[in-house]
Structure 1
């Protein structure tokens, strides 16, 4: 308006005014465009920063949960492993008949707890691969039966196997860990009884059955939960509530569904199902 009045009073050419006005509008438009681009860039950076902050927060929370998980597990693990160590010391001090075999049993328990801790850590590592190959069930099960031979003798528990010459597609090492934890549980709760390990070719399923004390209906839905030992576990000082949790996690990674059926005071059966056909070399 000031320029317009000045041009009008001095009767100056309006073309010069319009040219000046056009240049001013153009410069103003460029400034606005630059401001908008700068604002848009700042907003994009802010959003990226917020996303990074959220991701960092999630990572921190995940790390804290991981640390808490590890701490809780190893507090339980330390408490549980003291039992066979103390038992071994007491046995060695008594010098009773059969001490050597009983100490060997306790050492087997210590090894089991140690391996369980290592396998638990491996499972927490999401980069752990499982390699599936064709293997006979006998090659997986027989070493475990030999490993726990003294336990079978001491508990007066009879072991029966059937159709284990069959081949399945699995990761033998991780399957062995699954079976060992189930077999270990069966030995704890089956005194002077029987354990059957059999493979059903039609169902593509391996069953581990015992005629021990069984599992109550209230405990049955929760036995695969971490740290849950149930009524039976509270009666057994060697129960950590971690073994069956590890079994469930391995079954998920191997894609071998597992189910359990039990009647208290009668029997318990764990069944592991294998894929009918698998072309996968890695899971």
Structure 2
């Protein structure tokens, strides 16, 4: 009711000039009738007839005003709509406004199309570059497989890191692309975990780190490719910052936990972990730290509908939790 009263007040304010003119001529009619001593009934009849016609016309006009306002409010709540969806114009000014809106809309569409084209070109370039750079990386891996020297193992480790960084670049570009799609399906977390453990097995051996992992038999709804990438980044971070002890992967309160016994994170840095390019004290200790891996992981999990939290103490290690909502869990 208050809303309708507000609309009525706005309508009357918009028609204030007509209302003032109507009142003015009514007063003039009464004064003229009084001056010329015309019958009072004549003035009252004129006022009554004029008022009746005015009320009828105003009712129809207010109804159109209210309908237009309601439709515009509904359009405002929509994320996207075309100018053709706007209420039909009733005058030259409204027509001019709609022409301006249409011109702005066409210009915006053109900018959006140009942006999408440019974005796709960048993504295509990086995709091509990644595939091209992987050829010599794979060739070097094959060459080193025939070598048994200790230096070959070190070179193989460095090539593995290069391969990681190459994939990181591609995922970073894809994450920001509007054309990136997500394929949600039933995912067995054990399959993703084993896949990444196998990938990082040489790193565990080289650093002489223990792995504590037992199958968790946990099924969820997610995108396996992107979720696997997140697990890979978290496992990579755990290995990077752990020089002795162990890395554990387990389930706790329906959350996947990757725990290490590494250098840990300062309490004052914890709230900012996951911000773009933030490395904190860890970045000052390890010059190779960029913070991009955890940033990407956080962004990806948000898009997948999951979320990530951290628990850490300096020199004691870090626990990373990937939380899943109830509706995403298929196995409890």
Q: Which residue of 1 aligns with 2:303?
A: 253
1:153-192 aligned within 5 A: 153-192=205-244
1:1-283 aligned within 5 A: 37-50=91-104, 55=108, 97-200=149-252, 203-278=253-328
Structure 2: how far apart are the matches of 1:196 and 1:115?
Answer: 25
Question: How far did residue 198 of structure 1 move?
Answer: 0.4
What does the per-residue CA deviation read over 1:18-61, in whole Å, with 9 as the maximum and x for residues that have no partner?
A: xxxxxxxxxxxxxxxxxx944543343234435666x479869x
- Asked if 1 retains the 8 angstrom alpha-carbon contact of 2:188 and 2:218, the reply is yes
Question: How far did residue 238 of structure 1 move?
Answer: 2.5
Give the direction of change, closer, same or farther, for the CA distance of 1:257–1:39 in structure 2 (3 Å limit): closer
- Asked if 1 retains the 8 angstrom alpha-carbon contact of 2:187 and 2:219, the reply is yes
Question: How far did residue 102 of structure 1 move?
Answer: 1.2
- Asked if 2 retains the 8 angstrom alpha-carbon contact of 1:169 and 1:274, the reply is no
- Asked if 2 retains the 8 angstrom alpha-carbon contact of 1:161 and 1:196, the reply is yes
Structure 1: how far apart are the matches of 2:314 and 2:224?
Answer: 31
The CA RMSD over aligned residues, in Å, is: 3.4
Unaligned runs of 5+ in 1: 1-35, 75-84
Structure 1: how far apart are the matches of 2:149 and 2:285?
Answer: 27
- Asked if 2 retains the 8 angstrom alpha-carbon contact of 1:155 and 1:191, the reply is yes
TM-score of the aligned structures, taking structure 1 as reference length:
0.67
SS where residue 134 of structure 1 aligns?
A: strand
Q: Which residue of 2 aligns with 1:6?
A: none
TM-score of the aligned structures, taking structure 2 as reference length:
0.58
What does the per-residue CA deviation read over 1:214-244, in whole Å, with 9 as the maximum and x for residues that have no partner?
A: 0011211111011112211232233222111
Structure 2: how far apart are the matches of 1:170 and 1:56?
Answer: 32
Give the direction of change, closer, same or farther, for the CA distance of 1:206–1:184 in structure 2 (3 Å limit): same
